[in-house]
């Protein structure tokens, strides 16, 4: 679903197309010292990829938690990493954004493991390697799934680190179970703005059609706007896996799940919850983060009037009981990839406090 770019005509689904693959991990391209997960071998013609991203490289073994949502049996994918030094007895969950697979957490996983944390990285239902049921998604349901995962792993109090849509989920989860959450890290979180005030509602079928309409070029342009500081090849893997799923026989289900989760984001702003959060919160944003889900459906006047994530975060930190805001100058939507060394230092300083 295009956020800042209008959808272009659909490509022929089964035709061969070129997808140049990145030969290094995303975080390595961003300047990380540690090695990322192995990347696929470049090919001239892309092969289909299942909508569960079967075979797509992740930085660790993937397990599954069986759940029930809306009367449907589903499986929630997750990775569980032990600390690599000086175990501190604490656990942190990393909650992904909407258009990002679990591989982009490689850097934070290594940083936090090295600081003594047990690190759990779930894929939410509807995303990445998890099931993609056709149902009305809500942040509360996803939060309760994530709490069920924490229970299954015998976790007590935990720290949450949510990026983008995962930031909105982290806020909702913290509001539901404040006694379980000891710290909250929000990286460029979605939900700071009530999009209903600027963007007219869209039919789900309209959003499904937009998912089908992406071409390689238009999706690459969509992903590029998240990363003003990164070279093209460093974010190409995001383009690769998304476009390879279009060749799957189950892509219709992927497209519908994506559309339904956009509806969740649209109707559930999380800004009203900030004032109720009792735990320490680290809120970060890049100054060049222009992300706004469904913005292509807004009028020119509404686009101009809608606050961006960075200014909205600057205001929202004042609503937190115990909040701190960090600005990443010139970074876009994912500072942990664009400014990894500085982000690492700020993250570890906060979670160790």
Q: Please enumerate in sequence order all residues whose Cβ is within 8 A of that of 188, keeping only pairs 6 or more positions apart, or say none.
A: 163, 164, 167, 284, 285, 286, 289, 291, 309, 313, 333, 334, 335
Q: 113, 84 in Cβ contact below 8 A?
A: yes
Mean pLDDT of all residues in 71-76: 97
- 110, 186, 286, 342 from 348: Cα distances, Å: 11, 14, 18, 10
- Encode 238-257: b = buried (16+ Cβ within 10 Å), e = exposed: bbbbbbbbbbbeebeebbbb
Backbone angles phi, psi at 302, to 5 degrees: -65, -40
Mean pLDDT of all residues in 160-173: 98
pLDDT for residue 91: 98
Set out the domains of the chain in order of their start, with CATH numbers.
26-351 (3.40.50.1820)
Mean pLDDT of all residues in 305-322: 98
Q: 186, 162 in Cβ contact below 8 A?
A: yes
Q: 351, 115 in Cβ contact below 8 A?
A: yes
- Kindly report the average pLDDT of the chain as a whole number: 89
pLDDT band at 1 (very low <50, low <70, confident <90, very high): very low
pLDDT for residue 189: 98
Angle between helices 232-245 and 216-224 (to 10 degrees): 130
Please count the other Cβ atoms lying within 10 Å of the Cβ belonging to residue 258. 22
- 52, 116, 136, 278 from 120: Cα distances, Å: 19, 13, 26, 23
Structure tokens at 144: 């309760």
Three-class SS state of 254: helix
pLDDT digits (tens, 9 = 90+) for 112-128: 999 999 999 999 999 99
Structure tokens at 124: 């939410």
CA dihedral sign, ordered 162, 63, 153, 68: positive
- Sheet of 323-328, strands arranged across: 63-69, 72-81, 118-122, 91-95, 158-163, 181-187, 281-286, 323-328
As a whole number of angstroms, the distance between CA 155 and CA 139 comes to 21
pLDDT for residue 353: 87
As a whole number of angstroms, the distance between CA 172 and CA 139 comes to 6
**Strand duo 72-81 + 63-69: pairing:** antiparallel
* Residue percentage of the chain with pLDDT more than 70: 87
pLDDT for residue 46: 77
**Strand duo 281-286 + 181-187: pairing:** parallel
């Amino acid at each position: 679903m295009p956020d800042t770019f209008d959808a272009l005509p659909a490509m022929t689904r089964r035709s061969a197309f070129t997808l140049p693959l990145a030969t290094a991990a995303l975080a390595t391209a961003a300047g990380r010292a540690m090695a990322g997960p192995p990347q696929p071998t470049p090919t001239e013609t892309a092969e289909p990829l299942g909508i569960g991203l079967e075979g797509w490289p992740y930085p660790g073994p993937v397990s599954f938690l069986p759940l029930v949502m809306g009367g449907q049996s589903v499986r929630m994918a997750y990775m569980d990493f032990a600390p690599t030094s000086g175990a501190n007895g604490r656990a942190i969950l990393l909650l992904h954004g909407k258009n990002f697979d679990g591989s982009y957490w490689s850097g934070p996983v290594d940083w936090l493991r090295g600081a003594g944390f047990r690190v759990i990285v779930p894929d939410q239902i509807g995303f990445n390697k998890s099931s993609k049921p056709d149902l009305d998604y809500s942040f509360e349901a996803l939060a309760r799934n994530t709490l069920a995962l924490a229970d299954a792993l015998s976790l007590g109090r935990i720290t949450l680190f949510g990026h983008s849509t995962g930031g909105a989920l982290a806020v909702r989860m913290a509001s539901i179970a404040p006694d379980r959450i000891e710290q909250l890290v929000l990286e460029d979180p979605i939900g700071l703005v009530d999009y209903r005030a600027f963007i007219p509602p869209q039919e789900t079928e309209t959003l499904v059609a937009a998912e089908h309409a992406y071409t390689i070029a238009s999706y690459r342009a969509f992903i590029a706007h998240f990363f003003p500081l990164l070279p093209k090849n460093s974010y190409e893997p995001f383009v690769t896996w998304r476009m390879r799923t279009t060749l799957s026989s189950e892509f219709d289900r992927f497209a519908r799940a994506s559309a339904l989760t956009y509806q969740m984001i649209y109707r559930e702003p999380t800004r009203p919850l900030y004032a109720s959060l009792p735990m320490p919160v680290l809120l970060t944003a890049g100054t060049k983060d222009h992300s706004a889900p469904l913005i292509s459906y807004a009028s020119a006047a509404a686009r101009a009037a809608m606050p961006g994530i960075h200014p909205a975060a600057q205001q929202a930190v004042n609503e937190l009981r115990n909040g701190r805001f960090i600005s990443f100058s010139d970074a876009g939507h994912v500072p942990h990839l664009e400014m990894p060394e500085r982000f690492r230092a700020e993250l570890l300083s906060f979670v160790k406090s």
